[in-house]
Structure 1
Amino acid sequence: MKPIFLLFFLFFAINQINAQDKPLKIGVAGLNHGHVGWVFTANKRADIEIVGIAEPNRELAERYMKQHGLSMDMVFDTLEEMLEKTQPEAVTGFGSTFAHLEIVQKCAPRGIHVMVEKPLAVSLEHALEMKALAEKHNIHLLTNYETTWYPSNEKAYEILHSGQIGEARKIVVRDGHRGPKKIGVGPEFLEWLTDPELNGGGALMDFGCYGANLSTWLMNGERPISVTAVTQQLNPADNPKVDDEATIILTYPDSQTIVEASWNWPIGRKDMEIYGLTGAVFADNGSQLRLRIAEGYDGFSEEKFDLEPRKSPFDDPFMMLLSVVRGKVKLDNFDLSSLENNMIVMEILQAAKESAEGGRTVYLSKK
């Protein structure tokens, strides 16, 4: 190798190493999502840096900037202005679900990666456009669920796929709480969360997505044959425009998943049960799990697990985002955060809405 080419190669290699060591420059699109505190917590780490925030509500922005000791100079009225002036490597969506499409429309052509809060989109139509843009411009498009970071769900997956309880026959996923108003979410969050256009629905979208996401992951990306859903409005005083109770049944060739999404649980919950041919797994919360192996007709042996947090980078959405963007981690097909998984989630949610509205089972087309 000639000296000049050697020098060029060394210069390029050093620049690449330096780029890997620099903090991930993050833009924040919206501040009216109740989970936005997550990104401000991440900003306190050395490897993440918020460089710009798009939020037209100045009062809301001032409140967060004061709370976290940040300057209003980093807040812009529009997403486009924020992108142009701060040039982030990735943008995280913390506005309404309806806004997710615009984020991808603005970020993808600029080569900026995107992570949104669950669900991926308000509709399958939006999701398909987002997917096409992400693929055309070769960006990562990730979806963040709280349950992705639960060690109990990781352990449940491990047990199922190790064969300890035999093949899955039934999965039951329950998620929800007393309802957005009753648990006291902020007014900006409540306004869009209970709006059928901005959220795509009510409890069905807000909490039904968890079960669809987990089932797709546990079933290795298999699409269900059919979707049957029933929705109700049990608390019209608090939720006058949307459903607050949803039950979704997913049928597969050899198993069934039941998703129970509710804004009427007396106690907040995110738990899951997996029933195999010879045993069952109960993921009771984020860190506790029970494994039961059948004995006789109704007997069983039980092992309880109190689990440590997942290993980095799968213990935190921003560590995972950094690792994916920098090429340190390649997500498995149908990983909980992956676009492949969440496109199936959107198919399921779209079919669930159609099923509930039409009072019929919806069969998914074969691919």
Structure 2
Amino acid sequence: MAKIERIGIIGLVHDHIWNYLDPAKTLENCRIVCAADVHAALRERVAAELALGPEALYADWRAMLEKESLDACLVFAETALHAEATEACAARGLHVMAEKPMARTVEEADRMIAAARKAGTRLMINFPIMWNPDMRGLIDAVLSGAIGRVWMIHYRDGHKGPRELGCSSYFCDWLYDREKNGGGALMDFCVYGASVTARILGRPSSVYAVSGNLVKKDLAVEDNGVITARFGQDAIAIIEGTWTQVAQGHSISFFGEKGSIASSAFGPREYTINTPGEGARKLAPATLPPGEDKPIPYFVKRIREDRPFEGIASAENARIAQEILGAAFASIAADKPVALA
């Protein structure tokens, strides 16, 4: 069994982290022992959450890595730091779980994968949808052949915008910064669709994308983006992300040669499968194994059992999603489709 007992946190500016800490408190023989962030208020918050003393809090994550004896790190810093932090951790033999998106560019994603491979450490990319039983049930059904060979995916997701949704100022400060995040709504939400598309269809042959500030004209990043990915002559995926949708909603559809699966746009994240003969019926959610239904417990368990991070949690799948996003931004800049070599 691989050793993982002491975990550190690099960065606290990604709001998703606050949803993940409670399950980490119940891990057997493993705990989060330190955290680093430049913001004193966030250090105080995580100290209260995890009962950390002042000696376990750092303004500089590099100083934390130098001083602390760790087995792994959770990276919840701005996207621009993911590659550097992963490389620094790998050089010290530390496993890494980084929050989505994996990186700003595919080149940075490649640096992360290369560093982990060279060091023999593990790298997981956390997508919150991985822990949704209905989404997992959908992916499992498609991969099992329930609707036959998939020829079309339409994945739309988004909300009214991070600030409008009530995200913290620490989160928003970098979400709206292209240099720190790599983009806006396209980076934030199309990465979900890209990760699911990569899981189902693999790597596309070409990508065409458009984006713009359709509502929020003052933003320095796009408030809407649409990606069309082609998989030779076999399949197409349409991936949409928005920060201007007034009512929360999503639209996810898979079309195969033997049927289709679709979501309800404004209801719960439940999915309906429709096939000839059986008609339309609710798709059963997946049953997530104990200890594998939340990101940090999954991360620890898989390392201890020497089992791979699977599906959209794998760095390899996240790398394809990153390649789709990179090609999308290149397509937007050139206003033409971009072929993937």
TM-score, normalized by the shorter chain, greater than 0.5: yes
Who is 2:6 aligned against? 25
Whether 2:324 is the aligned partner of 1:344: answer no
Who is 1:260 aligned against? 240
* Residues 1-367 of structure 1 aligned to structure 2 (within 5 Å): 24-47=5-28, 48-66=30-48, 69-219=51-201, 222-236=202-216, 240-253=219-232, 254-269=234-249, 271-284=251-264, 288-294=270-276, 301-305=279-283, 307=285, 309-332=287-310, 335-365=311-341
Instruction: Tell me: CA distance 1:331–1:58, structure 2 relative to 1, closer, same or farther (3 Å).
Output: closer
SS for the counterpart of 1:264 is coil
Distance across 2 between alignment mates of 1:81 and 1:353: 35
Distance across 1 between alignment mates of 2:268 and 2:71: 31
Distance across 1 between alignment mates of 2:328 and 2:103: 14
Deviation, structure 1 residue 301: 1.5
Q: After superposition, what is the alpha-carbon deviation per residue over 1:286-319, rounded to whole angstroms, capped at 9, x for unaligned? A: 7522111147xxxx81111453652234311112
- Give the TM-score normalised by the residue count of structure 1: 0.86
Deviation, structure 1 residue 164: 2.8
Distance across 2 between alignment mates of 1:161 and 1:362: 27
Distance across 1 between alignment mates of 2:58 and 2:23: 20
Instruction: Tell me: CA distance 1:115–1:308, structure 2 relative to 1, closer, same or farther (3 Å).
Output: same
Instruction: Tell me: CA distance 1:286–1:140, structure 2 relative to 1, closer, same or farther (3 Å).
Output: farther
Equivalent pairs, count: 337
Distance across 1 between alignment mates of 2:61 and 2:268: 34
SS for the counterpart of 1:35 is helix
Instruction: Tell me: CA distance 1:158–1:66, structure 2 relative to 1, closer, same or farther (3 Å).
Output: closer
Contact 2:137/2:286 (8 A) holds in 1: no
Deviation, structure 1 residue 142: 1.0
Contact 2:174/2:180 (8 A) holds in 1: yes
Question: Is the deviation greater in 146-155 or in 225-234?
Answer: 146-155
List runs of 5+ in structure 2 lacking aligned partners. none
Distance across 2 between alignment mates of 1:158 and 1:128: 27
- Give the TM-score normalised by the residue count of structure 2: 0.92
SS for the counterpart of 2:15 is coil
Question: Is the deviation greater in 132-141 or in 197-206?
Answer: 132-141
Structure number with greater Rg is: 1
Letter in 2 for 1:277: E
Instruction: Tell me: CA distance 1:162–1:30, structure 2 relative to 1, closer, same or farther (3 Å).
Output: closer
Question: Which has the higher relative contact order, 1 or 2, with Cα contacts under 8 A spaced 6 or more apart?
Answer: 2
Distance across 1 between alignment mates of 2:19 and 2:109: 24
Distance across 2 between alignment mates of 1:85 and 1:200: 31
Distance across 1 between alignment mates of 2:119 and 2:268: 35
